[in-house]
């Protein structure tokens, strides 16, 4: 009975952190982006193309969940510049991470069948350096094998976090106990979501707090100077391989939410993430998007909701900023060519 009465106050706004952390956020929160969600999705999925026929596309985007935001995704804002964009999302079935898939594609025959001008490689900051250490640079995927995995949309099933599918009783239990324990520990001791106070109002929510994945902190240990250097070396190799096939590589790390709002966390005792600092030191043979600098400029100026308050992903505000910058970089690259 106590659990049921308490659970009545739990509001779900739709974000992954809201659901996984069982942290109540007013359900009207995302209404501020209602018009953005209602936009037409203009980019396409590569599964719509028959790889047995020659096709031409401006941009092939290969990424993780930051690349699966539909109407509010950066690819959709890029499409507004009259660019022909196709997307591959790697969180489906048992497919590899984005960097691995790009290596596998360039080593196969897909780019012989497709005329691609640019490939955008997008990967979340917390997993990028680690994927660079594990990537198999000689792995291959051929068009016939790719079609078996992606040829029919009905075969594509997005991986789900088990915590998103909790029963109502478990939901009530977690909400009741975590709601109490968050008063004593940033992650209620066992939650995958951290909740901390901010020194500045940066979200359009009732409480002045930041929610982020614990993995944003836990995975910092992988972002050493040596691992980032190794990542960059492999990205340079990848870029060279793509150049040989007439394709330019654009590298887009998606900053962890914790990293973007790091300077505004009250009494922050967590470590700093140096991924972007180390990347800045590296010599790059590809088009590099320093997304942290782009977004942090707006956050530092007090712009609210650059990331969703209730989610680990950036909002339409960030998607539009990223898309505009990529387009400007493409215009520069085209003039150079």
pLDDT at residue 147 in the model: 75
Give the DSSP H/E element, type plus range, for residue 130: helix 125-134
Q: How far is CA 289 from CA 97, 108, 169, 175, 327, in A?
A: 19, 26, 44, 39, 11
Q: What is the pTM of this model?
A: 0.92
pLDDT at residue 169 in the model: 61
* Nearest partner of 218 among 290, 279, 130, judged by Cα: 130
Residue 121 pLDDT > 70, yes or no?
yes
Residue 175 pLDDT > 70, yes or no?
yes
Query: Crossing angle of helices 225-243/98-106, nearest 10°?
Result: 30
55-63 and 114-124 as β-strands: parallel, antiparallel, unpaired? Answer: parallel
Buried b (16+ CB within 10 A) or exposed e, 219-240: bbebbeeebbbebbebbbebbe
Three-state SS at 107: coil
Rounded CA gap, 70 and 95, in Å?
Answer: 20
pLDDT at residue 179 in the model: 86
Rounded CA gap, 17 and 136, in Å?
Answer: 32
Q: How would residue 334 be classed by pLDDT, with cut points 50, 70 and 90?
A: low
pLDDT digits 0-9 by tens, 236-288: 999 999 999 999 999 999 999 999 999 999 999 999 999 999 999 999 999 99
| Count of alpha carbons within 13 angstroms of residue 277, beta-carbon side | 9
E strand segments, the chain: 44-45, 55-63, 85-89, 114-124, 193-197, 209-213, 248-254, 287-288
Query: In the chain, what percentage of residues exceed pLDDT 90?
Result: 73
Q: What is the mean pLDDT of residues 157-174?
A: 57
pLDDT digits 0-9 by tens, 185-198: 999 999 999 999 99
Which tokens in the block code for residue 74? 């950066």
Rounded CA gap, 47 and 32, in Å?
Answer: 32
pLDDT at residue 50 in the model: 83
Residue 118 pLDDT > 50, yes or no?
yes
Domain residues of the chain, as ranges? 2-336
Residue 78 pLDDT > 90, yes or no?
yes
Range in 56-60, 145-149, 212-216, 317-321 with the lowest mean pLDDT: 145-149
Residue 124 β-bridge partners = 254
Q: What is the mean pLDDT of residues 315-323?
A: 98
pLDDT digits 0-9 by tens, 44-73: 998 888 887 888 999 999 999 999 999 999
pLDDT digits 0-9 by tens, 203-247: 999 899 999 999 999 999 999 999 999 999 999 999 999 999 999
Residue 165 pLDDT > 70, yes or no?
no
pLDDT digits 0-9 by tens, 3-44: 455 555 567 778 999 999 988 888 899 999 999 999 999 999
Rounded CA gap, 15 and 320, in Å?
Answer: 19
pLDDT at residue 47 in the model: 84
Residue 92 pLDDT > 60, yes or no?
no
């Amino acid at each position: 009975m106590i659990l049921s009465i308490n659970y009545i106050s739990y509001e779900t706004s739709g974000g992954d952190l809201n659901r996984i952390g069982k942290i109540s956020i007013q359900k009207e929160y995302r209404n501020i982006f209602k018009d953005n969600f209602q936009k037409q999705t203009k980019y396409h999925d590569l599964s719509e193309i028959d790889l047995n026929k020659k096709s031409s596309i401006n941009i092939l985007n290969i990424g993780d969940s930051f690349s699966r935001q539909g109407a509010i995704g950066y690819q959709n804002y890029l499409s507004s510049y009259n660019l022909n964009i196709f997307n591959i999302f790697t969180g489906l079935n048992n497919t590899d991470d984005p960097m691995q898939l790009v290596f596998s594609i360039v080593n196969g025959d897909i780019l012989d069948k497709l005329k691609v001008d640019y490939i955008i490689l997008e990967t979340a900051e917390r997993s990028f350096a680690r994927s660079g250490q594990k990537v198999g640079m000689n792995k291959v995927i051929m068009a016939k094998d790719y079609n078996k995995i992606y040829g029919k949309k009905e075969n594509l099933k997005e991986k789900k976090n088990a915590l998103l599918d909790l029963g109502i009783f478990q939901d009530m239990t977690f909400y009741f106990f975590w709601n109490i324990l968050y008063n004593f520990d940033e992650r209620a001791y066992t939650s995958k979501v951290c909740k901390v106070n901010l020194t500045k109002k940066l979200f359009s929510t009732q409480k002045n707090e930041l929610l982020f994945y614990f993995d944003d902190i836990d995975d910092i240990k992988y972002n050493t100077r040596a691992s980032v250097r190794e990542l960059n070396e492999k990205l340079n190799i990848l870029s060279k391989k793509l150049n040989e096939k007439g394709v330019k590589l654009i590298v887009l790390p998606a900053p962890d939410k914790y990293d973007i709002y790091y300077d505004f966390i009250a009494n922050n005792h967590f470590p700093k993430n140096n991924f972007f600092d180390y990347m800045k030191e590296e010599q790059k043979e590809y088009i590099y998007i320093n997304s942290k600098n782009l977004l942090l400029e707006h956050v530092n100026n007090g712009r609210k909701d650059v990331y969703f308050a209730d989610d680990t992903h950036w909002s339409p505000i960030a998607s539009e900023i990223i898309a505009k910058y990529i387009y400007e970089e493409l215009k520069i690259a085209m003039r150079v060519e």
